[in-house]
Amino acid sequence: MKNSIEDQNDSSGSFEPDLSIRIGSLTMANPVGVASGIFGYGEEYKELVHIDELGALYTKTVTLEPREGNPAPRLVETPMGLINSIGLANPGLECFLREKLPLLRNHKCAIIANIAGSTEDEYAMVIEGIEERLSLSEPLSKTGIDGYEINVSCPNVRDGGMTFGIDPVIVKRLTCSLRKRTAKPLIVKLSPNVTDIAEIARAAEEGGADAVSCINTVLGMVIDTDRMKPSIAKGIGGLSGPAIRPIGVAATYRVSRAISIPVIGVGGIARASDAIQYFLAGAQAVQVGTALFSNPHAPQEILSGITDWMKRHGVLRVHDINSMLK
Amino acid sequence: MHLAFEWPEDLQPPLPGQFFTFLPSMVDSSAGIILRRPLAFAGFEPKKNTADSYASLSAIAHSIYQIRGPCTKALAIQQAGSYIDIIASLGNSFPYPNREEKVIIAGGGIGVGPMLFLAASLAENIAIPQDHIENISKPLEFSGSSKEIKLVFGFRSMLLVPSFKESIGNSPIAKTWERLLSGAFIATDDGSKGFHGTVLDALESLKKTDKSARFWHVYGCGPEAMIAKLAAFARQNSLPAHLSAEQWMACGVGACQGCVLPTRRGGYLRVCGDGPVFEADAIDWEACL
């Protein structure tokens, strides 16, 4: 049996699976990360979560200039889901480098900076800004920024974001341009709000991406029937949470069969079995998002559940799960 | 409704204005609820050491809430002694008044919860003249030191004025709340109890007869419309005011930028991370309506 480790360990199940995963040149200690936009830059949750135990922390999106974000209210809960329209509110690159980066360096997990821009140039300038700072200060530091997640899939901003991510020509050109500016892993975060997500994933791979995150939020809307107006100020927002998990799993299944770079599964992961669905569908790592809000211990619980599952099924490495789907 | 839960010894006591979030795991999963729910603290009883040195009563945190949706409904039917998953204490707290200020505590509807906590906490530090406690027809005024506290609570009707005697009997917190409520200036929208009108109407009326109204420091919590009017009232009368805001929350700890309110200077502030207590002038309350 291909995935059996019985020849390497005794069959009593006492072996320890190898949880580490590789994205480009980067090794993450385990496959469970926290999705962008959930943890800010790691400060607010540090008392509630052992961030060092995460596989990766994907930061709140960084843009060149500070962004105030979208009007309030920005959130509405839906059955098994959450619609948000934050609008990439963030303090901008300069503040990120000055105030957030030094704190992020203290964490032992992989730090992936999620970046966005209104124009293709702005994406490049954010990466250049971070790369320059990393080369100036502590060039040998293991932590800092270990990779980039390119947000071409935010549904809540007018320029950039999803308008880029729905066009394979732009995705390829942008990825190509960013590839020239960093040797660190580039992860393109895909939008599910497209006709053919596999086509966009192929464009990212052709542009030189090391991985894709699959998926960003799904367009959604709730209307308050008493007020006869949308529940969030922007009307339409991005739906996350368990409601979108089957969409994410299907997208992961299709994308992982269309490209040869790793797929990072995102969308509605709240328990270990959710993450394992993504692994079986073809993901090599996962990100936990909305589930963190109700349960800050979710990543650790998911990781320990994945470990138990791997032990039970005699699986040595996470990517071995990819080939176990019957 | 009233929620009380045991407070861990190693955790700092909550402050008036702060809140907690609970995991509504008691809600039927068919409701599809995925977020925690925020509630304000309405009181806190520190640990008491009893005469028997082996027994001591744990510290207890209190909150009051209205049944509004599936989560509060499920919470209300929980058995005493149930387990509840709580993250606390969250947010900032009401600042203390300056020495020369006269404290006005305005609460609307279920927003009286944190205001009872604030009043109890301020009163602890101020000598309470007995005649005011006995004489419930007058607004409660703690004039022992240089400070005075006036409570002005508004409700839609007398049926919505909380009564703690029935629900929690003669516990110390119930006594405190009852005492504060009985000393409060009560306004009802329909005139079924106390002053006929809103909290704002009541404040306008009190201001006319209070010679020291220019020393008022207004504290408030209540429905959005009341808070907007309180802010306007404070601005018109050049009074310092600290108001507690409400907004839908996802993380509750300052990370997700979901629960923001627009500021008067442009931009947004997070209710959980920057509030929930704001200087009245900081927020564009009208835009929140």
Please report the number of interchain residue pairs, chain A to chain B, with beta-carbon separation below 8 angstroms: 91
Q: Which residues contact B76 (CB under 8 A, 6 or more apart)?
A: B1, B67
Residue A8 above 70 pLDDT? no
Would A14 be classed as within a structural domain? Answer: no
B257 pLDDT band, cuts 50/70/90, is very high
Strand order in the sheet with B2-7: B2-7, B59-64, B43-45
Compute the nearest-CA separation of A167 from chain B (Å): 28
End-to-end CA distance of chain B: 26
Rounded to 10 degrees, the C-alpha dihedral B4/B156/B154/B258 comes to 60
Asked if B250's CB is within 8 angstroms of A293's CB, the reply is yes
The tens digit of pLDDT for each residue in B220-244 reads: 999 999 999 999 999 999 999 999 9
A47 pLDDT band, cuts 50/70/90, is confident
Compute the nearest-CA separation of A108 from chain B (Å): 20
Lowest mean pLDDT among A251-255, B143-147, B215-219: B143-147
Question: Any CB–CB contact under 8 A between B108 and chain A?
Answer: no
The tens digit of pLDDT for each residue in B84-130 reads: 999 999 999 999 898 889 999 999 999 999 999 999 998 876 444 44
Q: What is the pLDDT of residue A105?
A: 84
- What is the SS3 assignment for A73? coil
ipTM rounded to 2 decimals: 0.90
Q: What is the pLDDT of residue B51?
A: 64
Residue A257 above 80 pLDDT? yes
Asked if B257's CB is within 8 angstroms of A89's CB, the reply is yes
Q: What is the pLDDT of residue B130?
A: 40
Would A162 be classed as within a structural domain? Answer: yes
Whose CA is closest to B16, among B40, B47, B46, B48? B40
Q: What is the pLDDT of residue A106?
A: 85
Q: Please give the average per-residue pLDDT across B201-218, as a whole number.
A: 93
Q: Tell which of A43, A44, A58, A231 to mutate to test the B interface (max B CBs under 10 Å).
A: A44
Q: What is the pLDDT of residue B147?
A: 58
Q: What is the pLDDT of residue A102?
A: 87
Q: For the domain that residue A73 is a member of, what is the CATH number?
A: 3.20.20.70
More confident residue, B53 or A298: A298
Would A172 be classed as within a structural domain? Answer: yes
Chain A residues with beta carbon closer than 8 angstroms to that of B32 = 78-81, 243
Chain B residues with beta carbon closer than 8 angstroms to that of A79 = 31-32
Q: Minimal Cα distance from A61: which residue of B? A: B256
- At residue B19, φ and ψ (nearest 5 deg) are -140, 175
| Residue A272 to residue A306: CA distance in whole angstroms | 5
Q: What is the pLDDT of residue A134?
A: 85
Chain A residues with beta carbon closer than 8 angstroms to that of B266 = 68
Residue B192 above 60 pLDDT? yes
Q: What is the pLDDT of residue B132?
A: 40
Question: Any CB–CB contact under 8 A between B206 and chain A?
Answer: no
Question: Residue A106: how many CB atoms within 10 A of its CB?
Answer: 12
Q: What is the pLDDT of residue B70?
A: 93
Chain B residues with beta carbon closer than 8 angstroms to that of A291 = 34
The proportion of chain A whose per-residue pLDDT surpasses 70, expressed as a percent, equals 94
B 172-191 near A (Cβ less than 8 A):
none
| Residue A81 to residue B35: CA distance in whole angstroms | 9
Residue A187 belongs to what domain range?
21-324
Residue type, A110: A
The tens digit of pLDDT for each residue in A222-244 reads: 999 999 999 999 999 999 999 99
Would A9 be classed as within a structural domain? Answer: no
Would A10 be classed as within a structural domain? Answer: no
Residue B158 above 60 pLDDT? yes
Q: How many residues does chain B have?
A: 289
Asked if B254's CB is within 8 angstroms of A294's CB, the reply is no
Q: Minimal Cα distance from A292: which residue of B? A: B251
Q: What is the mean pLDDT of chain A?
A: 92
**Third-level CATH fold of B2-90:** Elongation Factor Tu (Ef-tu); domain 3 (2.40.30)
Question: Residue B12: how many CB atoms within 10 A of its CB?
Answer: 9
Q: Please give the average per-residue pLDDT across B126-142, as a whole number.
A: 42
Chain A residues with beta carbon closer than 8 angstroms to that of B249 = 75
Residue B165 above 90 pLDDT? no
Would A111 be classed as within a structural domain? Answer: yes
Compute the nearest-CA separation of A38 from chain B (Å): 5
Long-range contacts of B164-169 (CB under 8 A, 24+ apart): B164/B2, B167/B1, B167/B2, B168/B2, B168/B4
**Third-level CATH fold of B102-288:** Rossmann fold (3.40.50)
Q: Which residues contact A186 (CB under 8 A, 6 or more apart)?
A: A24, A147, A148, A150, A175, A178, A179, A208, A209, A210, A211
Residue A199 above 90 pLDDT? yes
| Residue B70 to residue B86: CA distance in whole angstroms | 18
Q: Where in chain B is the domain with CATH 3.40.50.80?
A: 102-288
Distances, alpha carbon B139 to alpha carbons A299, B113, B133, B142, B161, in Å: 52, 18, 10, 10, 16
Residue B169 above 90 pLDDT? no
Question: Residue B47: how many CB atoms within 10 A of its CB?
Answer: 13
Question: Any CB–CB contact under 8 A between B144 and chain A?
Answer: no
How many domains does the structure of chain A reveal?
1
The tens digit of pLDDT for each residue in B47-81 reads: 877 666 556 678 999 999 999 999 999 999 999 89
Residue A100 above 90 pLDDT? yes
Q: What is the pLDDT of residue A13?
A: 52
Q: Where in chain B is the domain with CATH 2.40.30?
A: 2-90
The tens digit of pLDDT for each residue in A156-193 reads: 887 777 889 999 999 999 999 999 999 999 999 999 99
Q: Please give the average per-residue pLDDT across B165-177, as a whole number.
A: 80
Q: Minimal Cα distance from A39: which residue of B? A: B255
Q: What is the pLDDT of residue A138?
A: 60
Q: Please give the average per-residue pLDDT across A3-19, as a whole number.
A: 63
Q: Tell which of A39, A77, A82, A293 to mutate to test the B interface (max B CBs under 10 Å).
A: A293
Task: Identify whether A95 is a catalytic site residue.
Answer: no
Name which of B35, B258, B261 is nearest A86 (Cβ-Cβ): B258
The active-site residue, picked from A109, A154, A176, A214, is A154
| Residue B132 to residue B129: CA distance in whole angstroms | 6
Give the tokens for residue B60. 């207890």
